[in-house]
A and B are shown apart, each in its own frame.
Chain A
Amino acid sequence: MSAVVVATESCHLNSGCGFPAPSADIFFLQPYATINFFGMDFTISKAVILVLAVVIIVVGFFLAAARPQKMVPGKLQSLGEQSFLFVRDQIAREVIGKDGDRFVPFLASLFFFVWISNLMGVIPGAQFPIMSSLAFPVSLTLMVYVTYIFLGMKHQGPLKFFTNAAFPPGVPKVMYVLLTPLELLGLLVTRPVTQAIRLFANMFAGHLLITTFTVGAYYLLSPSLIGALGSATSFTVTVVLTGFEMFIQGLQAFIFTLLTAVYIGGSLHAEH
């Protein structure tokens, strides 16, 4: 049980203990078990269980949707096809172009995995957006990073990929001295870092905000006018923020996948 929950349970407006504001502690989950695997400790926490659940949900959904291949699709097959087509038309073809089709399985897996992982933040019982644990967005970004570096070196040539990136078009040659470090740093460091942090920070901030107002609604609940009004307002804000957060969760999953497509597209097509 986290410190916030313990503090909140015995804390109300007039009990004189002050508002137990949630902190970053709520993101450090208590381990259920620790498994030693070849000298490395693997901690099983709520996030690990949730991530396994997300994998089962996403894989299960698409397997179930793809299994009965009928000419007249059922509801499940239709939903599966529409979801897949959304990623193909809105992300892969729109951003990468005609080469985009072969990356649709990768992009669709990424989109639905990130989206359902984010959605865990508002599902009762789960209530923890997996991507607010920095390790998960970092792992996904590393996968994307290796993919676009590999594709770039394969399609443009190992050295040409880096020289194409290092010397931007439309710039006087004198400026290369100043600009090449920025291009290389962008390609190798800040691109993956900003991609991971954008997803992590959005999920982290959203969850912290919802928790603050939820704790606020509970804390203010007391037999007084200010308490009742404050609690009702805080609760309303929680509901509104939850709706907003669901929108952000979808949007961030979309942006993460879109960025992946942009990077892959950039690796496939050399700059003009």
Chain B
Amino acid sequence: MNDDPTKFPNRDDGRETADIAWRSVSYLTAGLLFYGGLGWLIGRKFGHQQIFMAIGLILGISLALYLTYARVSAMDTTMERDTTTNDRRTTQ
């Protein structure tokens, strides 16, 4: 009964889509904080603080975007793999 597809629309797909949408915000914040902070620390120790911090911030944003992209790609693959299972469930 719990597997009735009309009762639980989208199921995992919906959860994963919502999850990744909100996750991207936390990745961006984490990227800026961690790598920006790391750049700031390195700059504090070795000089050229602004350059190191700028590099850290850009690296942080780039990695956050890459991580979001990688997660969405992984999600697409999972969805494609599960399509057959879903189709079988709907037609039964």
Given A186-B27, A190-B33; A258-B74 close (CB under 8 Å): no
**Size category, B interface:** 20 to 34
B46 interface hit (Cβ, 8 Å): no
Name the residue on B nearest A96 (C-beta): B15
How many angstroms between the C-alpha atoms of A48 and B87 in the bound complex?
A: 53
Given A170-B74, A182-B31, A194-B29; A269-B67 close (CB under 8 Å): no
Residue contact B34 to A185, C-beta cutoff 8 Å? yes
Given A182-B63, A190-B29, A190-B30; A262-B73 close (CB under 8 Å): no
Q: Which of A169-194 contact B (CB under 8 A)?
A: 169-171, 175, 178-179, 181-183, 185-186, 189-191, 193-194
CB distance from B90 to the nearest CB of A (A): 16
Name the residue on B nearest A266 (C-beta): B19
CB distance from B76 to the nearest CB of A (A): 9
Query: Across the A-B interface, how many residue pairs have beta carbons closer than 8 Å?
Result: 84
Which residues on the B side are within 8 Å of A169 (C-beta)? Answer: 71, 74
Within 8 Å by CB of B70, from A93, A171, A191, A266, lies A171
Chain A contact surface mostly: helix
Chain B contact surface mostly: helix
How many angstroms between the C-alpha atoms of A97 and B50 in the bound complex?
A: 47
Number of interface residues of A (CB under 8 A): 30
Which residues on the A side are within 8 Å of B3 (C-beta)? Answer: 98
Residue contact A186 to B26, C-beta cutoff 8 Å? yes
Which residues on the A side are within 8 Å of B29 (C-beta)? Answer: 186, 190, 193-194
A95 interface hit (Cβ, 8 Å): yes
Which residues on the B side are within 8 Å of A179 (C-beta)? Answer: 63, 66-67
Which residues on the B side are within 8 Å of A67 (C-beta)? Answer: none
Which residues on the B side are within 8 Å of A96 (C-beta)? Answer: 15
Residue contact B30 to A185, C-beta cutoff 8 Å? yes
Given A93-B7, A262-B22; A269-B12 close (CB under 8 Å): yes
Which residues on the B side are within 8 Å of A191 (C-beta)? Answer: 26
Which residues on the A side are within 8 Å of B26 (C-beta)? Answer: 186, 190-191, 194
Which residues on the A side are within 8 Å of B7 (C-beta)? Answer: 93
Which residues on the A side are within 8 Å of B15 (C-beta)? Answer: 95-97, 262, 265-266, 269
CB distance from B30 to the nearest CB of A (A): 4
Residue contact B10 to A186, C-beta cutoff 8 Å? no
Residue contact B34 to A183, C-beta cutoff 8 Å? no
Name the residue on A nearest B10 (C-beta): A94
B78 interface hit (Cβ, 8 Å): yes
A168 interface hit (Cβ, 8 Å): yes
A70 interface hit (Cβ, 8 Å): no
CB distance from B8 to the nearest CB of A (A): 5
Q: Which of B1-39 contact A (CB under 8 A)?
A: 2-3, 7-12, 14-15, 18-19, 22-23, 25-27, 29-31, 33-34
CB distance from A62 to the nearest CB of B (A): 24
Query: What 0/1 pattern do residues 152 to 174 of A give for CB contact below 8 A with B?
Result: 00000000000000001111000
Q: Which of B48-92 contact A (CB under 8 A)?
A: 60, 63-64, 66-67, 70-71, 73-74, 77-78
Chain A positions within 8 Å of B, measured between CB atoms, are 93-98, 168-171, 175, 178-179, 181-183, 185-186, 189-191, 193-194, 258-259, 262, 265-266, 269, 272
Chain B positions within 8 Å of A, measured between CB atoms, are 2-3, 7-12, 14-15, 18-19, 22-23, 25-27, 29-31, 33-34, 60, 63-64, 66-67, 70-71, 73-74, 77-78
